[in-house]
């Protein structure tokens, strides 16, 4: 996640293309819990080699519905919530 809280950086494919996107069009700032679960979602889907799920509107919509209520700053709890969500929706 970017330092300004409004960007996301990554290496998206071989041969290691750098990727960065800024989210300046949003009307309000993201809550810490939302940033925590977004990072956990990317990390866990990457580890599971299931990033293609982000391109599935039904799967992503269901994941967002389950994760959007998380607002805590406690990252381990957010990680467990993402893990349970991925397990319940399948990869």
Tell me how many domains the chain contains. 1
Task: Flag whether 3 is in a domain.
Answer: no
Q: What is the pLDDT of residues 38-55, one digit of tens each?
A: 999 999 999 999 999 988
* CA 54 to chain CA mean position, Å: 9
In the prediction, which pLDDT does 64 show? 93
pLDDT at 4: 53
How would you classify residue 16: left for phi > 0, otherwise alpha for psi between -120 and 50, otherwise beta? left
The predicted structure's pLDDT at residue 6: 66
Is residue 24, in this structure, part of any structural domain at all? no
Q: Which domain holds residue 68?
A: 30-89
C-alpha pair distances (Å), 23 with each of 5, 67, 71, 83, 87? 9, 19, 19, 25, 28
For the chain, which ranges sit under pLDDT 70? Answer: 1-9, 14, 21-26
> Does pTM surpass 0.85?
no
């Amino acid at each position: 996640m970017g330092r300004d809280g409004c960007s996301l950086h990554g290496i998206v494919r071989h041969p290691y293309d750098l990727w960065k996107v800024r989210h300046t069009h949003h009307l309000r700032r993201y809550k810490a819990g939302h940033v925590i679960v977004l990072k956990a979602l990317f990390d866990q889907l990457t580890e599971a080699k299931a990033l293609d799920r982000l391109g599935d509107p039904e799967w992503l919509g269901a994941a967002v519905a389950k994760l959007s209520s998380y607002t805590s700053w406690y990252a381990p709890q957010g990680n467990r919530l993402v893990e349970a969500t991925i397990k319940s929706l399948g990869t």
